[in-house]
Structure 1
Amino acid sequence: MRKLLKFMLIAIATIALLIVIFVATVYTVNVVASNSEQKQIQPYGQTVMVDGKKMNVLIQGSGTQTIVLLPGFGTAAPALDFQPLIAQLSPYYRVVVVEPFGYGLSDVTDKPRTVEQITNEIHAALSQLKIRKYVLMGHSIAGIYGLDYVNKYPKEVIAFAGIDTSFPTQPTDVMDTQTLSLLQTSGFYRFIVKLNPAQIMTPNVDESTKQQIKMITLKNMMNANIQSEAQLLPTNFKSVQSLQFPQNLPVIFFLVQNDPEIKDWIPQHEAQIQSSKYAKIVPLEGTHYLHYTQSKTIAADLRDFLNGIHLHF
């Protein structure tokens, strides 16, 4: 019995030691890799100062009309994520991708990620760049921020285009940021990505750009701004429930044709534009990231829509 007990204790101690070594190795590899990747991330776009912090903005194309693109929640590198859509839009428009604080190459701010704070910062960045008239176009949660934005700055926004955008009464919960943050700081998120690279979604771009997206994702995941935004999701959605798109604002929605998760996805968006004088819904086959696979159709339909504005007003 004594020999058996001694063997069991040694076995337990060995297993515990191996677990400690494994956890320490995962953590150390993550720290070393993160420091190395920080030097490999290639800058893009330009920075503007907002509230004493640097906000990154990418501008491509030189058309007479401007389209401002806003990302969905947690999109690590918006300017790279939107590349397929930028490629389709930039021959005809000046395309401006704003990377809010905590996203892409922008700084992290200590301001809470409320709808009001986010929209004010985006507007401040555009004002710094002297961008006064534009189409506001956004993906996913940009439907919430965009709704607030178009009501705040009706003299600047000439149309709104949503890519599978959220609606104010959409069921929303506070995210479990603690678990995700622990995965990030411990290095286990990097370990999971190593085992399953598909964890990081990327558009159909070259391998170099995919690698940049991966590095920026690992850098930005669950930073203070993403955590704040995640915790404020229900509050932010509720804060715009009293708002509607202005009657005279042209609105076009590009929506997943058969959303598997949210009931009445298209009818809910139809209700958003029932009072609009010029509005359209374009159902498309695909997943939530429609700009990955449907950029050509989105760009063509948006051009037709914008060209038709003068016929309706």
Structure 2
Amino acid sequence: MQKSITFKNATISFSDVGKGTAVVLLHGFLENATMWNTVVPHLSQRNRVITVDLLGHGKSDCLGYVHTMELFAETIEAVLKQLKIRKYILVGHSLGGYVSLAIAQKNSTKIKGICLVNSTSNEDSEDRKNLRLRANKMVQQNFENMVRMSISNLFEPQNLSKFKKEIDFVKTEALKTSLQGYIAANEGMRIRKKNNGILSENNFKKLIVFGEKDPVLDFKTSIKEAKTTNSEIVVFSGGHMSHIENKDELISTLQTFIKRC
């Protein structure tokens, strides 16, 4: 059941299921809390699982025209404060991983563990920064086509037909993102800074999960990042959408990680 709080006059939608260790699941760009629908039932058997719609996504409002990682983080902190949760594990997919790192930057003592799923503590390359600028211009001309194409491009090509039903659902949910939410989040990701130190300088448990054929994150760079930040690594065979392409493996990996935190 979705609940909500008001943060700076914006509605922030979230869910809170189960009892035990608090696990906060943060979705990626153009996603919302529904991306965790197949994960929550497994994790909530032994844990308290919180999912949040990030600003401009799902049922959460926008808050201005640039959603920085720090602003996203403030909204998550407001939800956790409302729920009186003091210690927690963060699991972030893509954009959700960037937000997780921003939360840890302010509140590292509250973090029991961080799992970056198809995400990184590195900043965007110059090419990707330029790509985000172009996307923010193009999306104003043809929002639906841009969103549909963006989602398809996240999967390993051979998985497009295999997971057609799931991909259609992702696209339907993605189209619920407002134009303002798209641009504000994309700009926030473009200007975010490198955040390796959050992982390398803290003693909480760290795990980086990535797809060997991820079209967004370079495989070799991800391997190097895990080593330099003293993070555990798990490599799946798919692309950027591990919760679909490698669903069972991801659930098992998260269950093991949570137990170790």
Q: TM-score range by the shorter chain?
A: 0.7 to 0.9
Partner of 2:257: 305
Distance in 2 separating the partners of 1:192 and 1:141: 16
- Code of the residue aligned with 1:64 in structure 2: it is G
Deviation at 1:158, TM superposition (A): 0.8
* Structure 2 residue 52 is the aligned partner of structure 1 residue 98: yes
Match runs of 1:168-179 below 5 Å: 168-171=122-125, 172-174=128-130, 175=132, 176=134, 177-179=136-138
TM-score, scaled to structure 1:
0.68
Question: 2:241 aligned with 1:292, yes or no?
Answer: no
Structure 1 position 143 matched with structure 2 position 113: no
Q: Which residue of 2 aligns with 1:36?
A: none
DSSP-derived class of the 1:80 partner: helix
Match of 1:82 in 2: 36
Q: Deviations over 1:160-184 (max 9, x none)?
A: 1111112324423142212212213
Q: After the TM superposition, which residues 26-65 of structure 1 pair with which residues of structure 2 at under 5 Å, given as runs?
A: 45-60=2-17, 62-65=18-21
Return closer, same or farther for 1:50/1:192 CA change in 2, 3 Å cut-off.
closer
Q: What root-mean-square deviation, in Å, do the aligned CA atoms of Structure 1 and Structure 2 show?
A: 3.3
- What does residue range 229-244 of structure 1 map to in structure 2 within 5 Å? 229-236=185-192, 238=193, 240=195, 243-244=198-199
The answer (yes or no) to whether the contact 1:137–1:161 under 8 Å persists in 2 is yes
Task: Report how far residue 243 of structure 1 moved.
Answer: 4.3
Is the 2:208–2:234 Cα contact (8 Å) retained in structure 1?
A: yes
- The 1:272/1:111 distance shift into structure 2, 3 A limit, reads farther
What TM-score do the two structures reach when normalised by structure 2? 0.81
Q: Does 1:250 align with 2:182?
A: no
Q: State the percentage of identical aligned residues.
A: 20
Question: Residues 13-52 of structure 1, C-alpha deviation per residue, up to 9 Å, x if partnerless?
Answer: xxxxxxxxxxxxxxxxxxxxxxxxxxxxxxx511111112
Name 1:269's counterpart in structure 2.
225
Structure 1 spans left out of the alignment, 5+ residues: 1-43
Q: Write the deviation string for residues 144-169 of structure 1: whole angstroms up to 9, x where unpaired.
A: 22222112112221111111112324
CA distance in 2, matches of 1:260, 1:206: 21
